[in-house]
Structure 1
Amino acid sequence: MGLGDFQYDTPRCADYVKYWTPLWGGTKPKLYWVSAPNHDWQPGRNEDLDNFMNGQCPGAPAKAAINRQRGFIGNGDPYSKDFGNWHFAFLSSAQWRYDPAKAHALTAWLDGDLAAARAAGKYLAVVYHEPYFTSNTGEHKRALDHKPWIDVMYRHRVRLTLSGSQHNYERTCPVNNKDQCVSDGMTAFQVSTGGIGLRPFTSSPPYIAKRFSNTHGFLRMTLRDNGSFSWNFVPTSGPGKDAGTRTLP
């Protein structure tokens, strides 16, 4: 799952083909992606991520997994998909920056999507780029404008969220929409350790259970049909490690 910020700094087709494809192109046929602000989608500046993921950029004909299944997906368009007994909703937090009215409209979409999945007995997860549950850095603070989405997530008892953006790694306790550690909260992972420079933390929220800003790598997860899941951060450079399992509730 790609959490956004795929290419720095001006991601047009030629940039994705020249820089992203040699490093990460092998993941594309398996990729479920979400667009991020600025580095993936800024109207009038960076608008080719949706074309790239749909195999429409010259020199990169492969399509992302979700595009092979659904066809063209525009930057900012939400979608959801079941993986076994888990239901994932994918939301572009760029909407809060570029079209707040659309972002608020997506709150209703998310509410309906999660309600239907929960009624069908699915365990819930949400992917969005800019994290709400996060430590500050010198560059970014938490995305407070996302609170309507967070309220919906907790109402339906989302168990897992995946975000990026901060250029480091964080994992929360199971947390509710009031920043409290609770047994039925969502475990929020913030994983932005894919290659660009890492950033130190400038705050220490009480809901953060594990974090480091000195290691590049990726997060490997195992999701089980009973709602439990395990995680293992795999470092590619640096000493940071994090692994564990969350069972029900």
Structure 2
Amino acid sequence: MKKTVFRTLSVALAAIVLVAATEGQVFSMAASGIRSLASPLRSSMFDTNRVHKLDVTVPFSILAAGDIAACANGGYFGRTGRNLRYAFGLPRTEATPNKGMLQTTSILEQYPETTVFALGDLVYKRGEAVGFEDCYDPFWGTVWERTWPTPGNHEYQSPFAYAYYDYWQDRAGPDRNGYYALQAGNWLFLSLNSEIDASQGSAQAKWLTKVLAAHPDSCIAAYFHKPAYSSVARSRTDDARALFQRVAEAGARFVLHGHNHFYERTAPLNAKGQPEQDGTIAFVVGAGGKLTRSKFAPAAFADRLITGTTGVLKLTFTNKAAEWSYLTGPESTETDRGTIQC
């Protein structure tokens, strides 16, 4: 009898610890795991090289930003309550959106046919399923069918970024590794994953080498969440630097990032992050909803830095060039524009 009671108490304690540690997500994660086992992600959108061909007419445009949805949720206990109510299908109060996300949503609405690149950290704080449904989806989610995402570190604060892959399905790639490529006109856009292994010999690095070799005449660009080089240096960027080095060596014209909550454009950089005339420009477009208001000096390699305002980068492509302009929120008249030759 005592052993039975002890086992029961142990199981109950383990359940409480799981609920507490995952802020109530354990039930959503379990359901996601069951769905994945029953029906693993497969996609007819991608060829055998994980490349999807976009149907575009040149010139075409793309809008890009990251670090987006951060609805008020009452902290730990509020998140846990919302996660549990979501998991058990119970009604929830309407999420209160962050002001910055409303501003960038209004920018997207001005370009109703334009493809969108979502640059990671799409739902704060932990990229949970209820956050995607209640906070991201009513706003940036209205352009789901024209969005191509890349995951950020906050998505991976939920185990295996399960909610990110559940929400995006095959728009996040043909499986749950989070990297793929898009071909549009003469451009090859590499959507890479800075949150998993990108070192030489990794599955991602091997695929990247293979897809680059298959498109030797394309204009190359890439997007992944963490910047390899920025005026605000952050930890855990080894994989981001490995990705930047590989695409820069391949002659990428530019790379798009989020992670830092401001706008930044570097000078052209070589594979080691040093200014070089024909190098790769790095854009940080991490004010898609979240915002850094503090002022700080730009790095020596930075050509433009805008803080204190939300914004979306608009790029317009021909087969030989890309024009960019930074579209800021209503609290700023600052912008940035220019042209990159292929």
Q: Which TM class, normalised by the smaller chain length?
A: 0.7 to 0.9
Select 1:148's aligned residue among 242, 245, 249: 242
1:13 aligns with 2:134: no
Q: Offset of 1:160 from its aligned partner? A: 1.4
Q: Offset of 1:147 from its aligned partner? A: 2.8
| 8 Å CA contact retained: 1:115, 1:156 | no
TM-score, length of structure 1 as denominator length = 0.81
**Which of 1 and 2 has greater Rg?**
2
Q: Offset of 1:109 from its aligned partner? A: 1.8
Letter paired with 1:44:
P
C-alpha distance in 2 between matches for 1:103 and 1:7: 31
Select 2:206's aligned residue among 104, 108, 131: 108
Q: Which has the higher contact order (CA 8 A, sep 6+)?
A: 2
C-alpha distance in 2 between matches for 1:27 and 1:160: 24
C-alpha distance in 2 between matches for 1:103 and 1:136: 29
Structure 1 residue ranges, 4+ long, deviating more than 3 angstroms after superposition: 100-105, 199-204
Structure 1 residue matching 2:304: 3-state secondary structure: strand
| Structure-2 change in CA distance of 1:206 and 1:144 (3 Å) | farther
Matches within 5 A, 1:31-50: 31-37=147-153, 39-42=154-157, 44=159, 46-50=161-165
Deviation string, structure 1 residues 186-234 (Cα, Å, up to 9, x no partner): 11111011112325365632221101111101011001101x1111111
1:29 aligns with 2:152: no
| 8 Å CA contact retained: 2:126, 2:156 | no
TM-score, length of structure 2 as denominator length = 0.60
Task: Name the structure 1 match of 2:167.
Answer: 52
Task: Name the structure 2 match of 1:61.
Answer: none
Q: Offset of 1:90 from its aligned partner? A: 1.0
Task: Name the structure 2 match of 1:60.
Answer: none
C-alpha distance in 1 between matches for 2:178 and 2:200: 10
Identity %: 25
Q: Offset of 1:122 from its aligned partner? A: 0.6
Task: Name the structure 2 match of 1:132.
Answer: 228
| Structure-2 change in CA distance of 1:203 and 1:113 (3 Å) | farther
C-alpha distance in 2 between matches for 1:25 and 1:147: 30
| 8 Å CA contact retained: 2:200, 2:206 | no
CA RMSD of aligned residues (A): 2.4
Unpaired runs of at least 5, structure 1:
55-63
| Structure-2 change in CA distance of 1:95 and 1:27 (3 Å) | same
C-alpha distance in 2 between matches for 1:129 and 1:201: 22
